[in-house]
Structure 1
Amino acid sequence: MNGRNKSRKGGSGRDAGGFVALPWAVLDSPAYAALSVHAKALLLEVARQYVRDNNGRLLLSRAYMEKRGWKSSDMLTKAKRELLDGGFVHETVKGHRPNKASWYAVTWQSLDRHPGYDEGAVETFVRSAYGRNRALKNASLRPPHGTGGPSIAPPHGTGEPSPVPPHGPIKADFAPFSVPPHGHHLEMPSPCLQPTH
């Protein structure tokens, strides 16, 4: 046994301990190629947390990621948004202040069931969303401007329609014209028959 193998268990060919398994389908996808360097780094961080039965309870909070070396809150927020928009992660619990963190799942693994998920989290999970049409991407459980229901009124209110057209009532004139408005066509010479000077 040479010195290289002393720290390895059973000659497995790698260092002992767990490892991050990212499928080639993820790394070779156009969505992955479009990610920023920071989003790719964050993807490794969230993949590191997956351990067989916790997909849906992964953390990307500022407090947790700060321990992993992420010092910029803005950078973390932007990278997290890229992963959500790209379909790599799915939000299962919406966090809120002061001390409830959001939970996430990676989409290249099946979602593990848990009673603590927000309503609709299981139904909206899309497996392999990073490789599908952008319209199917996983997104946040709530739209960015809140959860208000769709308006049932037109954007300018529900005013009664005006009884007359906007430019006033149309006056009917049923008297027949004896001559067309530009003269009788039989009395107008053809342009080709007019004398030239």
Structure 2
Amino acid sequence: MRKRNKNKPNHTGRNPTSRFARLDHRLLNSPAYRALSVAARALLVELTMLDNGENNGSLYLSIRDAAGRLGMADLSAVRCAFDELQELGFIEMTEDASFHVKVAEKSRARCWRLTWLAGPGRKGPSMTFVERQPPPGTKAHRRMERGLRALKAFRKDRDTGRLPVLDSDTMGGN
């Protein structure tokens, strides 16, 4: 009997040793996503990595742990990233932090749900971020406008066959 290579896909096309974090293009192209700071985008990826397909709504991540995962020392910047994600509808808190509970009983960290994925009990996604935008005149609104302009320019160049990489002579087209 031959041993099967664990890194190769099985007969259904799945790889049992590899997982991926799913970020849908509806999410990535939304005005709300374009309004996120870099720290909030990175935090969104970290929260997505905690999801295993069955635990959305039970994603425990504290500000301190998030700072460690992001490689950030400024806890207030991480707190602001959590606030951004909540305000723009990407995450919802399902359980607040609790410091009065003994260590062995349950986690003290806040518990989160990703709004574009199905929640506990097969509750469908709320997709709250689709209808949210930052208020006009804010830094986030200006970031959103710049991001949407850049995305529109990219799509126009792609559709006309003028992608910057294809038009560049740095790729060795003597």
Secondary structure of residue in 1 paired with 2:47? helix
Is 1:30 matched up with 2:31? yes
Question: What's the CA shift string for 1:117-174, capped at 9, x where partnerless?
Answer: xxxxx9xx9700000256xxxxxxxxxxxxxxxxxxxxxxxxxxxxxxxxxxxxxxxx
User: 1:97 matched to which residue of 2?
Assistant: 99
C-alpha distance 66-77 of structure 1, shift in aligned 2 (>3 A):
closer
Mapping of residues 145-164 of structure 1, within 5 Å: none
Taking the aligned partners of 1:126 and 1:21, their CA distance within structure 2 comes to 14
Taking the aligned partners of 1:61 and 1:70, their CA distance within structure 2 comes to 13
Number of matched residues?
A: 120
User: 2:79 matched to which residue of 1?
Assistant: 77
Mapping of residues 1-197 of structure 1, within 5 Å: 9-10=8-9, 17-68=18-69, 69-97=71-99, 100-113=108-121, 127-133=126-132
Contact 1:39–1:79 (CA under 8 A) maintained in structure 2: yes
Identity rate, percent: 29
Where structure 1 has 5 or more consecutive residues not aligned to the other structure, the ranges are 1-5, 114-121, 135-197
Taking the aligned partners of 1:97 and 1:70, their CA distance within structure 2 comes to 23
Q: CA deviation at 1:94?
A: 1.1
- The structure with the larger Rg is 1
Contact 2:89–2:132 (CA under 8 A) maintained in structure 1: no
Instruction: Give 1 or 2: higher helix fraction.
Output: 2
Taking the aligned partners of 1:67 and 1:58, their CA distance within structure 2 comes to 16
User: 1:160 matched to which residue of 2?
Assistant: none
Which of structures 1 and 2 has the larger relative contact order (alpha carbons within 8 angstroms, sep 6+)? 2
**What TM-score, normalized to structure 1?**
0.52
**What TM-score, normalized to structure 2?**
0.59
User: 1:137 matched to which residue of 2?
Assistant: none
How well do the aligned residues superpose, as a CA RMSD in angstroms?
3.1
Contact 1:60–1:80 (CA under 8 A) maintained in structure 2: no
Contact 1:107–1:126 (CA under 8 A) maintained in structure 2: yes
Which residue identity lines up with residue 79 of structure 1 in the other structure? A
Taking the aligned partners of 1:37 and 1:67, their CA distance within structure 2 comes to 16
